[in-house]
Structure 1
Amino acid sequence: MFVRSLGAVALACAAALAPAHAAVTLIARGSLTLDQDLSGLTGTLENGQAANLFGGIGSGLAWAGGSTFLALGDRGPNAVAWNSTVDDTTSWIPRFHTLNLTLQPAVGGSLPYTVQATLTGTTLLWSGSALSYGPATPLGPVAGRIYFSGRSDNFAAGANSLDSHSARLDPEGIRVSANGKNVFITDEYGPYIYKFNRKTGERTQVYSLPAATFAVSTLSSMGSAEISGNTHGRVANKGMEGLAITPEGKHLYGFMQSPLIQDGGDGGRANRIVWIDVSTGKVKQYAYDNYIPAKSKAYNSSEILAVNSKVLLVLERDGKGLGDGSSASVKQIWKVDLTNAEDVSQLSGQDALLAKAPAKSLFLDIRATLNAAGITDDQIPAKLEGMAFGQDVVVNGQTKHTLYIANDNDFLPVVNGLANPNQFFVFAFDDADLGGSTFRNQPF
């Protein structure tokens, strides 16, 4: 088993962090803009964009030890209009990237470090058994590899959304198994949790969610039609957005982006966190309240991290900021403790779930912290979606934990004449910042 190093990365730096326990602090930022990934794919997609287009890599972010991270794109580039009947999705093959994110002492500037980001590998996701496609001709099979696809019409007639034979995959969350050999990936179409071989990209296991709760029975290649055609299950394009793995690697926490239809739907307060036993596939469900009192509004959730086996960090956000042509307003991370939370698997409806939702507390106001570092609201990425712990770092003799946050730039490096790169923000914190919760070292 890989174990998170207890030794911190000692980086000499003249700039000082804020005093211990003052607050979670921004210590570094960086970006990565490339034209092509390392998939080896050639040719173009239906919308005319390259099959190996690089971008969108902040949909999910996982730490794999040292300075190695895995970054996840979603269902591919669909911001270029070409066919509204498939929500402009294409035969993009879902994939994850291996990155080296190195903290280096900054030369000048207000932050002590910079993030040097390097792409070192791209892994395509595929199945060894048959998948259901729509009218588009899929790539492959190549040497027995049947690739997943981002196209929204890749499902079988009569199937519900939890049919694991569907070729359509919109990956949003990624974590590395305890032995470092596999990755767990969540999806919005199903919603699914799949296990893949980290080296080859082959799907090796399906973790089934309760269909009576999460599945939609009427499928459509258009998200709006799928929403209007169902009264139960996940909201289209608001499925399982986040994923956490507990420190010992035995359990996963999957997180829906918005409440299920029967629980209030998009914009509602009562979300669900799904606990899964990695070895048995056993499932439990917990309620989570998306409501932010200071804003008098509920916000969708983008990511989830396990501080320990029961305490989680949840990233909630609006869709405003760089890449959206507007200004960010809400980008926050909240802490929730499930120690005494009740299983809500048999409950339905917002009121029933909210009655069982544990209290949460604000861990980090990302927007306010970035503002304090001179990053204005219009320069904060709209889609902050990837979140991972990293190596501890020693600064001025103090050991700090690190938290990396990445954005999904929708494969659009330039929006309205403004650069819109894949960005990384690194924050430092210590145990006192967790308000009494104990931080556990993560496995890989």
Structure 2
Amino acid sequence: MKKPILLCVGLFILNSCDYIDDFIGQGPGTVSVSPSEVLETNTQYPLPYAVLNTINGDVEVRNGGFGSGATAHPTEEAEFYAITDRGPNTDYLDGKKFPVAEYTPRIGHYTVTSSGKIELLDEILLKDPTGKTITGIPNPEGKGATGEIPYDAYGNAIPFDDYGLDSEGIVALKDGTFWVSDEYGPHIVHYTANGIQLERISPIGVNEGTGDRKLPAVFAKRRANRGMEGLAITPDEKTLVGIMQSTLYNPEKIQSNVTRIVTFDLETGYTRQYVYVQEKANLSNSEITAISNTEFLVIERDGKFAGEGPAQKHIYKINLNGATDISGNNPKDENGLMIGDKTIEQLTVQELAAANIIPVQKELVVDLVAEFGYAHDKLEGIWIMNNNTLAFINDDDFAVSDNDGDGVIEQKILPGGSDIDASSLYMVKTNFK
């Protein structure tokens, strides 16, 4: 049964650690080890969580939410990072209702202990260049707006956030800093180890103190809530590689299986673009991680639970070598490269071939539903644990859902039972090299 939103602001204090003291830090005598030594493959290991709030007595809003993106720790095999998105939200009128509007997107730093327990070592809250915590509230016009109007829990319009982020992709560098991609601008943001913004790169010129480093202008055509869902960095840490979740609305709303990958040279700011063809239109490219400087793994999925019928949770290996750079001659062109009077998104796969545009090579590595019945809807985090083991985390939407888009929150339950969806670590053995 659906429950109306009844929130008390006093129940949630953003910067308080009272709710999470029991979940942060290693307990006495725990030792971190390689997860593949103590955890079973094809098995669910829920991440620890705290309850942010309880709605109407029995619907838990959890913190939770870690799994919009995930990445390996660059030096410690037992550790990994997972990131939240903008926070709990539901569709409402012409935008989104944010029942915890003060929520700050954050990075969770986890370890696996010798007893097989997953522990949250730290939460890194994302901040603006002055050190002030940001929110997940949308950006205003000129700063990355998607057209979504933000509302609080009671349906009152609330101010936009210049630095708001709907974070999705994450990479961790050896110097301790992070790069994060999002679904607003889309932005790619560089953060310190403490979460303070160093640089923000976008297609719309919101950069601060970074010269003219930008994403190509065409990426501002992203579909709302389907922006730069995945982010990787090459093993030499020289190039960021971002993948768009779905087809750009270029020049208008389009249903297509043609999506884009962009590479960004961190030294020069030079970008390249490539076509990634989904199995069918309207799927989601949820994450990308690097095997080498040219080979990557991509999550391509639908939004279904396996318990609801056929569901796609596929991992593909792709290779940028041999693919056509579709950047064109002018990265400031809002429509990008044109073939005749059509944008790349308006072309069929056959028309792309006729124009001598070669998409990235792509081969299926593993079908997680067929492999072990992967149950979750939003498979969104992936990293390489070792030479034959991949690790995955799902986004549990803070354990709440709004199935009818009417702004009424209910518990997010896995089909066929009463289990609450939970961000969980899984591992699978597979040959991806």
TM-score using structure 2 length: 0.70
**Does residue 366 of structure 1 match 2:377?**
no
2:27 maps to which residue? none
Deviations 1:283-318 (A, max 9, x none): 1111110125xxxx5622101111111111110111
Q: Which of these residues, 259, 263, 273, is aligned with residue 261 of structure 2?
A: 273
1:239-272 Cα deviation digits (max 9, x unpaired)? 0000111111111110100011117856411110
Local SS of the residue matching 1:367: helix
SS of 2:397's equivalent in the other structure is: coil
Question: 2: CA distance between counterparts of 1:121 and 1:326?
Answer: 35
CA distance in 1, matches of 2:84, 2:56: 17
Report the CA distance shift for 1:428/1:11 in structure 2 as closer, same or farther (over 3 A). Answer: closer
Could you tell me which amino acid in structure 1 is paired with residue 123 of structure 2? T
User: Which position in structure 1 is the counterpart of 2:24?
Assistant: none
Q: Take 1:193 and 1:14, find their aligned partners in 2: how far apart are those partners?
A: 33
Check 1:94–1:160 CA distance in 2 against 1; reply closer, same or farther (3 A cut).
closer
Distance in 1 of aligned mates of 2:235 and 2:165: 27
TM alignment of 1:241-252, pairs within 5 A: 241-252=229-240
Note the C-alpha offset of 1:384: 0.6
State the Cα distance separating 1:33 from its structure 2 match: 4.0
The question of 1:312 aligning with 2:296 is answered yes
CA RMSD of aligned residues (A): 3.4
SS at match of 1:262: coil
What code does the residue aligned with 1:239 have? Answer: G
Query: Whole-Å Cα distance in 1 between the matches of residues 48 and 84 of structure 2?
Result: 14
Structure 1 residue 145 displacement after superposition: 2.4
Q: Deviation at 1:84?
A: 3.9
Tell whether the 8 Å contact from 2:186 to 2:202 is kept in structure 1 after alignment.
no
Q: Deviation digits for residues 136-183 of structure 1, max 9, x if unmatched?
A: xxxxxxxx422221123x42x455549xx8222100010011x24100
Retained in 1: the 8 A contact 2:168–2:182?
A: yes
8 Å CA contact retained: 1:59, 1:407: yes
Give the corresponding residue for 2:50. 35
Q: For 1:206, which of 197, 200, 206 is the aligned residue?
A: 200
| Aligned-partner Cα distance in 1 for 2:113–2:388 | 15
Task: Evaluate the alpha carbon distance shift between residue 345 and residue 46 of structure 1 in structure 2; reply closer, same or farther with a 3 A threshold.
Answer: farther
Contact 1:276 1:283 (C-alpha < 8 Å) held by counterparts: yes
Match of 2:208 in 1: none
Give 1:54's aligned residue. Answer: 63
Shift in Å, 1:99: 0.7
**3-state SS of the aligned residue for 1:205?**
strand
| 8 Å Cα contact 1:319/1:328 also seen in 2 | no
Aligned to 2:189: 194
- Runs of 4+ in structure 1 over 6 Å off: 10-15, 44-50
Structure 2 residue 313 is the aligned partner of structure 1 residue 331: yes
In the superposition, relative to structure 1, how do residues 408 and 341 fare at CA in structure 2: closer, same or farther (>3 Å)?
same
Tell me which residue corresponds to 1:40. none
Classify 1:310/1:365 alpha carbon distance in 2 versus 1 (closer, same or farther; 3 Å): same
Q: 1:415 aligns with which of 412, 416, 420?
A: 412
Aligned partner of residue 118 in structure 1, secondary structure? strand
1:58-82 Cα offsets, whole Å, 9 max, x none, are 1011111221111101000114x7x
Distance in 2, matches of 1:213 and 1:48, equals 46
Corresponding letter in the other structure for 1:62 = T
Check if 1:405 corresponds to 2:404: no
Considering Cα pairs closer than 8 Å and 6+ residues apart, tell me whether 1 or 2 has the greater RCO: 1
Amino acid aligned to 1:93: T
Q: What is the distance in 2 between the residues matched to 1:367 and 1:55?
A: 23
The residue number in structure 2 matching 1:289 is: 277
Contact 1:263 1:270 in 2 (8 A): no
CA distance in 2, matches of 1:125, 1:268: 34
Match of 2:14 in 1: none
State the identity %: 31
Rounded to whole Å, the distance in 2 between the matches of 1:10 and 1:271 is 34
1:121-144, CA deviations, whole angstroms, 9 ceiling, x for partnerless residues?
A: 10111112xxxxxxxxxxxxxxx4
Of residues 162, 169, 187 in structure 1, which corresponds to 2:165? 169
**1:423 counterpart letter in structure 2:** S
* Structure-1 separation of matches of 2:166 and 2:39: 43
Deviations 1:373-430 (A, max 9, x none): xx6xxxx00001011112x3xxxxxxx532110000000175344321111110123x
Partner Cα distance (1:34, 1:196) in 2: 24
SS in 2 for 1:345: coil
**2:64 counterpart letter in structure 1:** G
Matched AA of 2:360: P
Q: Which structure 2 segments of 5+ residues have no match?
A: 1-32, 147-160, 204-214, 329-336, 338-342, 401-410
Q: Take 2:113 and 2:190, find their aligned partners in 1: how far apart are those partners?
A: 27
Residue in structure 1 matching 2:105, options 60, 74, 94: 94
The correspondence for 1:386, drawn from 378, 381, 384, is 381
Contact 2:42/2:372 (8 A) holds in 1: no
Residue 89 of structure 2 is aligned to residue 78 of structure 1: yes
Distance of 2:35 and 2:195 partners within structure 1: 34
Which whole-Å CA distance do the structure 2 matches of 1:175 and 1:36 have between them? 27
Matched, 1:151 2:131: no
Q: TM-score, normalised on structure 1? A: 0.68
How many angstroms apart in 1 are the aligned matches of 2:86 and 2:192?
Answer: 19
- Aligned partner of residue 87 in structure 1, secondary structure: strand
Give the whole-Å Cα distance in 1 for the aligned partners of 2:362 and 2:67.
Answer: 25
2:333 aligns with none
